[in-house]
Amino acid sequence: MTARKAVPGDLEPDVLRFVEEVRRTKEALGWSFAALARATAYSSSSWERCLNGGHLPPRSAVVALARHAGDGSARLLALWELAEQAASGRGRTAPASPPAASGPEAPAPPATSAPPASAPVTEAGGAAPVRPGNRP
């Protein structure tokens, strides 16, 4: 088996968790990168880059690996989802800024002149009479 490279220290925590879980899964199965590639239809060099923190594999490759993982399959897919969100920036949230202690309140949004949602609108813009079975 090849020596494992250390993952970069600047990985998102969710990406790091995913990489570590895939490494554990690969080791538990006793697979080489070639065996991993055969089982998932994702190249061995791409898996090697993934397990060294270079990039994430496509979901289809993770699904294929999860099929072989048995009990850890749901966990592996959940970790991939979190890692993918973190890597794409969709999982990040901006830190909440504390409210100002004293200052003007934000202005209220302007009122709209749209008719109430429950009143059907005719083509001329007036409200249509409400009758049983008359839906907007």
Task: Write the pLDDT tens digit of every residue in 112-121.
Answer: 555 555 545 4
Predicted pLDDT at 8: 62
CATH code at 13-88 = 1.10.260.40
Other beta carbons within 10 angstroms of residue 22's beta carbon come to 25
Q: Which residues, in sequence order, are bridge partners of residue 121?
A: 127
CB 16 within 8 A of CB 53: yes
Between CA 59 and CA 45 the distance in angstroms is: 17
Predicted pLDDT at 100: 54
Q: Give me 103's structure tokens.
A: 């200052």
